[in-house]
Structure formats: C-alpha cells, structure tokens
Amino acid sequence: MTTRGRGKPRSHAPAGNGTQPRQRRVAVPVKASMIRLRRAGREVQERLPKLPIGGEAARRSRMLTMEGLVPEAARYATYNFRRGVLNGVMFTLVDALIAPTLVLAWFISRLGAPNVLVGLLPAILSGGWFLPQMLVASRVQGLSHMMPWYARTGALRTVAVVLLCAFTVLLADQPVLLLISFFFFYSVYCFLGGVTGIPWLEVVGKVVAPRRRGSFFGQRNFWGGLLALLAAGPIGAILSEDLWGLTFPYNFALLFGITAVVVGLGVYFWSSVREPAATQSAPQVSVSALFKQGVRAYKTNVDYRNFMVARILISLASIADPFYVVYAKTNLGAPAATVGLYLGALSIASLLSNFLWSPLADRASNRLLMTLTVASVALVPFTAFIISRFVGAIDDDVLYPAFTLVFVLSGLALGAARIVNNNMLLTIAPPTERATYVGFLNTILGVVIFVPVLGGLLADLVGFEILFLLSLVLSALGLLASQRMSNKAPEHS
C-alpha cells in the first residue's frame, strides 16, 4: 500500500511512455470541464418553459425550437407564441367579418357603387398595409423595442372601426354620404394597419424561434380559419336580413360593431407579448437612404429579387379578386345568402390548407414554396374562366353553387399568403436589415396593388371573362419568376 498525495505511485501503474503525473494533468481538467458542462446544461433547462409532458426527448426538442432566441425571449417563448396565435386568430376572423372581396364588395354594391370602387376595396386594404412601411422602417430601424408603436396604432385602428359602425347607423338614409364615410374610415383602418406592419414583424422575428415560424403562422391561420368558418353561417344570416329583422344597412352596422370588438382583442393579445430588447440593430436612416439600401439588396440578393418579382406579379394577378362575388351576383343570379356559402368555402379551404403550407414553410426550399404558392393563385382565375364558359349552357341554379370552387381555391391561396410570404421574408432578410427588406418590398407592392382599380374599368369595358384570363396570364408569369429562386430550405438559412 502507498499513501496518496506526495507518496510514490502504485507499483501496478500502467506501463508505457507516460507517467502518472501526466495522467493527472489530463484527467482533472476533463473532469472539471464535464462538471461545468453539466451545470451549464442545467441552467439552460431551468431557463426553458416547462412542458406539461415530456422527458429528456421533449426537453431536447424544446431546446432545438428555442434556437435563435435570446435568453429572455426563450424564457417567455411559450407565452409569446400563444399570444401571437391569439392575435392571428382575431385578425383572421376580422378578415372574414369584413372580407373586402366578399362582404364589403356586397355592401358598397348595395349602396350603388360602380365597379371601379369595388376594385378599390382590396387596393385600399393592401395599399394601406404596404405604402406606409418605407416611412415606418426609417423611423423604427435601430429602436430597441417595437411594441409601443404597435400598441398605440392598434388602439387607433379599433377606434376607426367603432366610428364606421356609428356612421353606418347615423347615415343609413343617406347612401352617398354613407359611401363616402365608409371609404374614409376604411382607409384610415387600412393605413394604420400598414403602420403596425414592420413593428409587428420585427417582434415576431425576436420572439418566435426560426424553426417554429411555420408552425406559428400555421396555427394563427388554422384556428383563425376555424373560427371564421364557424362565423360564416351567422354572417350569411345577418346579410340575408332575416336575423332579428335587421335590414340594410343596419345589418352591416352590426357586423362592423362585432369587428370593432374583435380588432380590439387582437390588438390586446399582441400588445401583451413580452418583447426583449434588440441585441442587434442598425442606425436610423432617412427614407431616401433606406430606399437606396433596398435597391442594393434587390441587386445583390438573388432570392430577394426573385421573391419580389414573383410577389409583384401575384399582386397584379389579384386584379380579378374583388369581382368574383360581383360576377356571381350579376351574371349567375346568386342571392345574398350565397355570400355565407362562399365565405364558408373560403374559410374551410384556408383552414385545411394549413396542413399543407405550415410543414412546407418549415422544411421546403424557397423555390418549391413560391412555385406552389403562385400555382395556387393561378388556379383561382383559371377555374372562374372555365365556369364562365358554361353560362347559358347550364342553368344558373347549378352554376352559382358550382362557382363555390373558385372560393375554395381562393382559400388555398390565402393560406399560402398568410404562412409562406412572411415566413420566407424572415428567412431571406438578414436580421439587422429586416426593416429595409420588408419596407422596400412592401412599398413597391403598395404601388402595384392598386391595379384592381383598373380591373373595375376592364370589367365594364371588356367583361369579367377577359379579366379572369388576364389574371391567369399574370399568375403564369409569376410562376416563371418563382423558378429562379434557390433550393435553400428556410431552417438552413
């Protein structure tokens, strides 16, 4: 026996070129390193949100989903994720309650608005969303927190819808003034939505892990679509003027009142998200400098350039969107209650499309995602054009229910827009230049999106069928642009 410490080594020490002291110098640091590694692992696990079920495999999975978040965002990841989903559910329901290509198109058509104004509805919605974003990007770039912008503007959006509801009641006997008031408050609501756009997306980039963004947008769309589906029946009943004896336009005043409540809830849910301070930021720049940065990004980033071209062509293809329901009303003799049928079909398709778009957004390449997205858009005018060829040969009582297929395919395309577009833009844009990429693209789209106004003129001059065909051609061109995108998958960006 020998004693430890400074005594002689054991006589049965292993032979070789090394000595016992050399073994100690290697073993002790390795042991200490393992202890530190285990301690670090415990600290990481303590920071992660607790799972209701799990085990080691579940904890490893959660650590992967937290990838890309700062510690504070990871700590509140589950809470923020749920609040973000609730926000999306509310605004998806809003899209059903005041759908510009269905509900609002019917509303202003009843007020005697020409097709040009019908075409203006989606243009105001999209233009109001896109156009302010370059100006907003120049103001918010470099800020550590974006939520104050969102919360204040969201409150004003709610007020705009409340006033729209009130003026619909007050001006019920004055259709011209009601039409003017409607366009004013609707434009304010849409423009303020554009002011919230970049702050909202910036917060998404900070609080939702990259590998969960597809699921995030998918769940917003799925649960919102489910709620919109449940609301389709009541919306159809309200528009039929058989519910509680509410005649036009008081039935729409009820819809606008419900919409105001839902908008307020949506703003509240997102405003309660716990936003961490930005860890990386670029200095604030002027609008002109931001525009130059956007042009440089367009020239140097191939995926961004082709994504922008495809999005522009898709926007141009929306020239026919507000006129599908008008076509069904004027050419197929569809009654008012059919709006509920079409809205239900759109909601069901949008709901089920999540099972396609959400997994694809998490795993598929940029090229595949955009190709499928543009293809889903192209199917809408293609189907409308084919059905229009049977007018006169088949009874209208068969055709206007068959026209429901157009809105089924619209729901499929809508599901792609809600999940793929934002997710891909977050994938393509570097974090420090996200405001530049988003603001530049959306400003360009804000100008392009007013093309449906021309659709109203074309519908009056050459007919709806030519309009459907033009939309199909533009979608086909967008399909070509999508083929030039890379095969890089979002999670590998």
Q: What is the pLDDT of residue 3?
A: 45
Summarize pLDDT for 210-221 with one digit per residue, the tens. Answer: 777 778 887 887
CA dihedral 347, 348, 352, 353 (to 10 degrees): -40
Q: How confident is the model at residue 123 (pLDDT cuts 50, 70, 90)?
A: confident
Q: What is the pLDDT of residue 87?
A: 94
Percent of the chain with pLDDT over 90: 20
Residues in Cβ contact with 270 at an 8 Å cutoff, skipping those fewer than 6 apart? 83, 84, 87, 150, 154, 200, 203
Of 38-52, 152-166, 191-205, 338-352, minimum mean pLDDT range: 38-52
Q: Is the pLDDT of residue 136 over 60?
A: yes
**Radius of gyration, alpha carbons of the chain:** 28
Contact 388, 468 (CB under 8 A): yes
Contact 263, 151 (CB under 8 A): no
Q: How confident is the model at residue 96 (pLDDT cuts 50, 70, 90)?
A: confident
In Å, what is the CA distance from 296 to each residue of 291, 316, 421, 446?
Answer: 9, 24, 21, 19
Percent of the chain with pLDDT over 70: 81
Q: Is the pLDDT of residue 492 over 50?
A: no
Mean pLDDT over all residues of the chain?
78
pTM greater than the 0.85 cutoff: no
Q: How confident is the model at residue 271 (pLDDT cuts 50, 70, 90)?
A: very high
Which of 173-182, 301-310, 431-440 holds the top average pLDDT? Answer: 173-182
Q: How confident is the model at residue 67 (pLDDT cuts 50, 70, 90)?
A: low
Average of per-residue pLDDT across 10-35 = 46
Q: What is the pLDDT of residue 53?
A: 37
Q: What is the pLDDT of residue 452?
A: 64
The secondary structure of 78-124, three-state, reads HHHHHHHHHHHHHHHHHHHHCCCCCHHHHHHHHCCCCHHHHHHHHHH
Q: What is the pLDDT of residue 423?
A: 72
Q: Is the pLDDT of residue 36 over 60?
A: no
With 0-12 / 13-18 / 19 or more C-beta atoms within 10 angstroms meaning exposed / middle / buried, residue 485 is buried
Higher pLDDT among residues 144 and 413, named by residue? 413
With 0-12 / 13-18 / 19 or more C-beta atoms within 10 angstroms meaning exposed / middle / buried, residue 8 is exposed
- Please state the length of the chain: 493
Average of per-residue pLDDT across 114-124 = 81
Summarize pLDDT for 274-333 with one digit per residue, the tens. Answer: 888 776 655 666 777 778 888 888 888 888 888 888 888 888 888 888 788 888 888 888
Average of per-residue pLDDT across 471-481 = 90
Q: Is the pLDDT of residue 235 over 80?
A: yes
Q: What is the pLDDT of residue 446?
A: 73
Helix intervals (H) in 171-301: 175-207, 213-239, 250-271, 287-300
Give the span between the Cα atoms of 215 and 195, in whole angstroms. Answer: 25
Q: What is the pLDDT of residue 2?
A: 44
Q: What is the pLDDT of residue 283?
A: 61
| Amino acid identity, position 435 | A
For residue 71, the tally of other CB atoms under 10 A from its CB is 12
For the residues of 136-200, what is the DSSP string, one character each? Answer: HHHHHTT-S--HHHHHHHHHHHHHHHHHHHHHHHHTTT-HHHHHHHHHHHHHHHHHHHHHHHHHH
